[in-house]
Amino acid sequence: MKDLPGTLHVRIFAPLNVRLKRLMESAGVDEKQAALMIRQSDHDSSGYIKSFFNADWDDPSLYDLLIDTEKFSVQTGAKLIIESVHSPEIQAGAEKAAVKLVNLTLVQKVEAKLLEMLGDEVRHVEIRAEKGVVFLRGAVTSPVDMENCERAVAGLEGVERVENQLSVVQYYRFGP
């Protein structure tokens, strides 16, 4: 989440030959096995970033700090990260980040609850949270669903109030 204030995105890397040598020494494996392990690790990391953030992990614009461990020792890299985390720029965004994460967590809880109730129809509901107030906007198929959604969301921990802007819409199927 590049746009989350108060966070530092770091990419630690080294050329393949350096990584191979280090892994062969630390894991006691041959070059072929080390290459396989690195390839699998890179594949997993790349897949994680792609899956959760829809981004290419090799894109340098995703990161605030890039550290090449061929040029910098582990100790120097750690110092760079610690200094960066404690910088006024990162610290200034920490409180905003905490609020944003609380809101995102609440949205996820609400979405999970509504998914239980509505199934795939939850895709018609937009959920937003701000300081304990949950905003529901979109469409459900009955007044009962609308009331049940509001009641269920209101009962979740962290919800102070629900702004229910849902409307009831009838969906008609065409065809046989």
Q: What is the pLDDT of residues 52-111, one digit of tens each?
A: 888 999 999 999 999 999 999 989 999 999 999 999 988 888 878 888 889 999 999 999
pLDDT grade for 174, boundaries at 50, 70 and 90: low
In a domain, 160, yes or no: yes
Q: How many domains does the chain have?
A: 2
Please report how many Cα atoms fall inside a 13 Å half-sphere around the Cα of residue 5, on the Cβ side. 12
104 and 159: one domain? yes
Position 164 pLDDT exceeds 90: yes
Asked if residue 66 and residue 20 are part of one domain, the reply reads yes
Could you tell me the two tokens for 10?
A: 């770091």
* Residue where the block lists tokens 């040029």: 71
- CA distance linking residue 92 with residue 5, whole number of Å: 8
Q: How far is CA 94 from CA 6, 19, 55, 100, in A?
A: 4, 33, 23, 10
Q: Does this model's pTM top 0.75? A: no
Domain boundary among 37, 58, 86: 86
pLDDT at 98: 83
For residues 109 and 53, state if they share a domain. no
Residues 6+ apart with CB under 8 A from 130: 103
Encoding tokens for residue 6? 């108060």
174 domain residue, yes or no:
no
Q: What's the CATH number where 35 sits?
A: 3.40.50.300
Same-domain check for residues 18 and 48: yes
Q: Is the pLDDT of residue 173 over 70?
A: no
Verify that 164 and 98 share a domain, yes or no.
Answer: yes
Please indicate, yes or no, whether residues 81 and 100 belong to a single structural domain of this protein. Answer: no
Q: Is 3 contained in some domain?
A: no
Host domain of residue 79 = 10-86
CATH code assigned at 128: 3.30.300.130
For residue range 11-57, what is the model confidence (pLDDT) as tens digits?
999 999 999 999 999 999 999 999 999 999 999 999 998 988 889 99
- Are 81 and 98 contained in the same domain? no
Query: What is the reported pLDDT for 53?
Result: 82
Tell which of 86, 118, 150 closes a domain: 86
